[in-house]
Structure 1
C-alpha cells in the first residue's frame, strides 16, 4: 500500500532519502505539468521542477498543514516557473505540444476533432502575458488579485488580459475547427 503524503512529508522532514524519493515520484509528474505551462522549453521546465523540489525539501518547515500539501507544492512550482518566465519574457512561457495527449474532446462539440496537442498549439500562439494569465486563472485557479501579485500587474490588468486571452483563443479555436464565428 502506498504511503500517505503526510507520512512522506514527515519522512522528508527527518531527512530520509527514501521518503524524498517517494515524494518526488508521487508528485513529479503533476508538478512537471505545471512547470511546462510556464517555462519556455522542456529543458527549463525540468530545471524548474528540480528547483521546485529543492525548495520543497528545504522549506518543509514553512508548510503548516493549512491545506493540502499538493497545493502548497504546486504553488512553489508555479512561482519557480514564473521566475524562469520573468527571465525569458521575450520568448514567453509555452506548453510543449509533445507533452499533450492526443485525446479528442468527449462532448461532441464542433471542436471534438481537435486534440489536446491542437489546443496546446493554439494556446502557444497567444501573447505571453495573455497565456500566463489564462494558465494561472483557468488552470491553476489563482484569483486576479493573486495573479496581479505574482506578475506585478494590477488586478484590472489581469482581468483584461484574461478576457482578451479567452477572446483570442475562441477566435483561433473557431478558425482551427473551420466553423463560422459570430461576435455577439
Structure 2
C-alpha cells in the first residue's frame, strides 16, 4: 500500500483517517480547531485553565466518538456542538444553579442604547464574561452560537420563557455596563479638556 498522507485536505479524508486512529489526522484536527474551540469554551466558563481542560476533553470525545459523525452537516458544526455540550456539562457540575441566577434583579436601564461602532470586541467580550453564569450561558448560546430559545431550553433543561428572560436580563445588564463605560469615558474626556 502507499504511504499515509501527512495532510488531509478534505474533511472526508480527515474523518476517514481519524476513524482509523491516525495520529497525524488527530494532530491536524487539533491544529485546525484547538484555538477556535478554546475561545468557545472560554466564552462559557471564563477561566482559561478550565476552558483549556474542557477543550481537551471535548477533542478527546471527538476522537473517541468520530464514528458517530454521520457526514451530514459540517465537521466544524459537529465539533462545536460537542464543545458546547462539554462547557455546559462543566457549568452544571461546577457553578451555582442557573435557576438561582434567574432570581437576581438588575436595575432598569434606558432601552435602545446603541453602542459605538468603535467598541472593541475584546471589551465587549470582557463585559460578557462578567455576566452572571446563567445570563452569560444563554447569551452565548443565543447571540453567539445561534441556537433558538427552544434548543437552549432543551440543552439547559429550562423553559423557553426562562431562556428568553435570561437573554433579556443579559442584554439589559450589558446595556447598563455600556452606559457606565460611556459615562466614565465622557468624564475622562471632560477632565482632559479642563486640564488643557
Structure-1-length-normalised TM-score? 0.81
- The match for 2:133 among 111, 118, 128 is 128
Say if 2:12 is the partner of 1:6: yes
Following TM superposition, by how much is the alpha carbon of 1:140 offset from its aligned partner in structure 2, in angstroms?
A: 0.7
- The match for 2:65 among 59, 63, 79 is 59
Find the counterpart in structure 1 of residue 37 from structure 2. 31
- The match for 1:174 among 166, 179, 186 is 179
Q: What is the rounded CA distance, in whole Å, between the counterparts of 1:168 and 1:64 in structure 2?
A: 40
SS state of the match for residue 111, structure 1? coil
Find the counterpart in structure 2 of residue 87 from structure 1. 93
Following TM superposition, by how much is the alpha carbon of 1:28 offset from its aligned partner in structure 2, in angstroms?
A: 1.0
Find the counterpart in structure 2 of residue 158 from structure 1. 163
Distance 1:118 1:40, change over 3 A: closer
Distance 1:118 1:131, change over 3 A: same
Q: What is the rounded CA distance, in whole Å, between the counterparts of 2:44 and 2:87 in structure 1?
A: 6
The unaligned stretches of length 5 or more in structure 1 are 93-108
- The match for 1:146 among 141, 145, 151 is 151
Q: CA RMSD in A?
A: 2.2
Across the two proteins, how many residue pairs are aligned to each other?
A: 164
With 48-57 and 5-14 compared, the bigger mean Cα shift is at: 5-14
Find the counterpart in structure 1 of residue 119 from structure 2. 114
CA contact (8 A) 1:113 1:177 kept: no
Q: What is the rounded CA distance, in whole Å, between the counterparts of 2:8 and 2:171 in structure 1?
A: 40
Greater CA radius of gyration, 1 or 2?
Answer: 2
Q: What is the rounded CA distance, in whole Å, between the counterparts of 1:174 and 1:66 in structure 2?
A: 44
Following TM superposition, by how much is the alpha carbon of 1:110 offset from its aligned partner in structure 2, in angstroms?
A: 5.5
- The match for 1:44 among 44, 47, 50 is 50
Structure-2-length-normalised TM-score? 0.76
Q: What is the rounded CA distance, in whole Å, between the counterparts of 1:55 and 1:147 in structure 2?
A: 22
- Following TM superposition, the consecutive aligned residue runs of length 4 or more in structure 1 with deviations greater than 4 angstroms are none
The unaligned stretches of length 5 or more in structure 2 are 1-6, 99-113, 187-196
